Structure 1
């Protein structure tokens, strides 16, 4: 995928996720997501906040988190999640068309982030969403390449991951195979899609 198509996919994923969120009940907003310790509300807040954060805001948040990136992400999402649900949906819709990345974020990171977090919301609620296959390949490459914070290569050492619906594979060893979108979620440290894969158990 070229840069234009990646941005178009990010836009469509953000718009579709905003539509999904707009139709949720109050109980669904408080349902646990696939992100440890976050409900749907915190995930939605994180998705709407990232591209709106300026460098100086990120630096301030990093200091308040005492130098922990993960703590910074958690604290900023929880603070943003205090806003009304309608505002969170509106903010997510408002960044459709934006070409601004969060500080230190790459375009591949941004694509992966919105697709994984959309599934973090949908899967626990029993809502069927599918990743575009070509975009899922880009996300899988990104997750395999980067170390922190997912450490996919370390966690999945000794395995060869093979997509059954796309021309994608990575690693060496015992084979884990299945749909590329299920592999993306496992690469991101989620276990919800493991039943869709062969060669791996929870």
Structure 2
């Protein structure tokens, strides 16, 4: 299942960000609709998360102050474990049909969780869609302009704290082979913009799509 590619430009505006978020939520819901129970239970690219956990997590992108406080009251020692706990709670409480319906219901919304921007919401849905699709051998394409905006934000983030993989990726010269984008200095790594985004978010499943003298060092650093 694929989305129509969008023209790639140097910048992406506010309306386009929300257009991509909405379209990707709908496309992901369509993909999820076709999964078997076994596929819903399949491990995702997120260590320790099932496909169902990740899908449930994506329904938690509109948390206001009250919901954020409720999540923090269930603190599990780190933010990652706390977020995973919240996703697992929802995955256990909601049917797969309800998860899909909620993704569609959110498609036209422009709300985002307190403390993050729409760019974090964009990155969340783009990367987590691949966490679901890739281990199942399915395809859900990322619009190139949105992936470019997302990797820019990922590599530039100071708050929320950047992912460890993003700090690693900053030590390399990243060059996209399908759009006019590059960043950083150091050993070169080249590949499709979607693969570069996934690597910057710690998804080593994208390594086979990359080339360049920096790839072995990157793989070792991420391992």
Structure 1-normalised TM-score? Answer: 0.95
Q: Is the 8 A contact 2:25 2:125 kept in 1?
A: yes
When the two structures are aligned, how many residues end up with a matched partner?
Answer: 201
Which of these residues, 35, 40, 52, is aligned with residue 51 of structure 2? Answer: 40
Q: In structure 2, which of residues 184, 198, 205 is the aligned counterpart of residue 185 of structure 1? A: 198
Give the C-alpha shift of residue 158 in structure 1: 3.2
Question: Which residue is equivalent to 2:31?
Answer: 20
User: Of the candidates 99, 115, 122, which is equivalent to residue 104 of structure 1?
Assistant: 115
Runs of 4+ in 1 over 2 A off after TM superposition: 151-154
Q: Does 1:71 align with 2:81?
A: yes
Greater shift in the superposed pair: 67-76 or 4-13: 67-76
Q: Of residues 2, 22, 37 in structure 1, which corresponds to 2:13?
A: 2
Alpha-carbon separation, structure 2, partners of 1:50 and 1:108: 12
1:151: how far off? 3.1
Aligned to 2:124: 113
Change (3 A) 1:157 1:133: closer
Question: Partners in 2 of 1:187 and 1:104 — Cα distance?
Answer: 21
1:163 aligns with 2:176: yes
CA–CA separation in structure 2 for the residues paired with 1:5 and 1:146: 21
Q: 1:93 aligns with which of 93, 104, 129?
A: 104
* Partner residue of 1:175 out of 168, 182, 188: 188
Which one scores higher on RCO, CA 8 angstroms, separation ≥ 6? 2
Is the CA contact 2:172–2:185 (under 8 Å) kept in the aligned structure 1? yes
Taking the TM superposition and a 5 Å limit, the aligned residue runs for 1:187-202 are 187-199=200-212, 200-201=215-216, 202=219
Matches within 5 A, 1:116-135: 116-135=127-146
| Whole-angstrom distance in 2 between the partners of 1:67 and 1:102 | 21
Q: Secondary structure at the match of 1:88?
A: helix
Structure 2: how far apart are the matches of 1:42 and 1:96?
19
